[in-house]
Amino acid sequence: MKGWVPYRIKRYWVYAVVTIVALVMPWITINGNHLFLLSFDHKKLHLAGVAFDMQELYLMPFLLMLLFLGIFAVTAVGGRAWCGWACPQTVFRVIYRDFIETKLLGLRKRIKNKQKDPDMSKPENQVKKVVAILIWSVLALIAAADFLWYFVPPEDFFQYIQHPADHTILMGMLIGIALFIIADVVFIKEDFCIYICPYSRVQSVLYDDDTIMAIYDPHRGGDIYEGHGNDRHKKYTKTKDLVADEPYAECTTCESCVTVCPTHIDIRKGLQLECINCLECVDACTTVMGALGKPSLVRWSSENEVIYQKGKTNYFRPKVIAYFTVLVLVLVALFTMGSKKEHMLLNVNKTTRLYKILDHGGVENDYIFLFANTDSKKHTYYFEIEGDLKNKIEIVRPKEPFSIAAGQKRKKVVVLRTNEKLANDTRKDVPIPVTIKAFATDDKEKIVVERHTVFVYPRADLIKK
């Protein structure tokens, strides 16, 4: 017990770090771009200080794969460690129940008894409950705003809320998310983890015998429940009854591991979907058994090590290696794709008019070029015809290069003309492939893209001789 730090305290430190990161990250910018921002307003994705246009959202599948594969890998190794150590639902409940209700207002008497709800028949407790909800409502608004900062830049967010009538959707989302957080944390509570969250159902297919979790040792403590799995029913509630049947049982049936559980389960019954791996039961049993000079009966370990006693937990098993191998591959692919960011985007579309035949026999085609400067500074752009048609098709409009500010778009009407005889088909018009090379005149080596389109040449009998 000497020097022992409860998992509960360690979780509080993790919660503090997670909260600080979540609140600070939306404010961090690199060269004017955020660490992570999916802005529907500006139609951009900011990732690691690089801004990607919506046309570059091929990165999103890689981010989603990282998210889900990461959760699967963590679950295979440490069970529902995400739920107990980083999930916003758990963090919010700890802040509300352990800090506001227990430490700040004294509405709950002890942090270690999460099974007993406050006596709301007392008027003073009713007042404390209202105060607790009001305090949490302020924090819920901050949490809702923080969530929205990952979709609306904070610098824009605070400008928008100064004119709520002009931004009703944003205000509606802010208030709606805050109300959901209040209802979830104050009224739904851990029932969200037990009945609503789908993760508890998914985890059952990700676990194996080497997954580490909170596990009760029945070899030392004794079988508190008779039967197996869902058929377990009879429970020992007194030490003398347990010892009478199992003389070597060390469990004191003090119920400390039960009363401290936020999801209201008895860890001695075995693996249950409701367990969120918060390890509160491990702390409780460590305290009780430590006073008796014995190690805890509930440990953060695996079934192979505790239940089946097959030796140490195997962390580097094939499934875990496969998960992390795929994670590394996806991460490499993400950075590889992200490093190939185009600093200029160009969409080329033909107008509804196929072509224009000039009096002297020349042919013009009209296009709409949409340029987007995705770089962090202003550039001057122009383009040219590539390949065999370079000397046969000329640019009639625009004649001069043009400038586009950082992050801005510009539409240009483009007219291409040929005085050459590009085709000689007497039956139909001929679409001729054309390659357009667009570039920044001030950085032609770095900022250059190629696009393919067609130049429609009319059938031979339409050309005047």
pLDDT at residue 233 above 70? no
Q: Where does the pLDDT of residue 51 fall: very low under 50, low under 70, confident under 90, or very high at 90 and above?
A: confident
> Class assignment of domain 344-462?
mainly beta
Q: Where does the pLDDT of residue 377 fall: very low under 50, low under 70, confident under 90, or very high at 90 and above?
A: confident
pLDDT at residue 450 above 80? yes
pLDDT of residue 55: 65
Q: Where does the pLDDT of residue 352 fall: very low under 50, low under 70, confident under 90, or very high at 90 and above?
A: confident
Q: Which tops the pLDDT comparison, 448 or 407? A: 448
What are the residue ranges spanned by the domains of the chain?
A: 7-30+79-203, 213-306, 344-462
Crossing angle, helix 123-148 and helix 168-183, to 10 degrees?
140
pLDDT at residue 174 above 90? yes
**Which whole number is the average pLDDT over 201-206?**
78
pLDDT at residue 445 above 90? no
Q: Where does the pLDDT of residue 193 fall: very low under 50, low under 70, confident under 90, or very high at 90 and above?
A: confident
CA Rg, the chain, in Å?
Answer: 33
pLDDT digits (tens, 9 = 90+) for 284-337: 999 999 999 899 999 999 999 998 888 898 888 898 999 999 999 988 888 777
Average per-residue pLDDT for the chain: 87
pLDDT at residue 228 above 60? no
Q: Are 119 and 125 in contact (CB under 8 A)?
A: yes
pLDDT at residue 27 above 90? yes
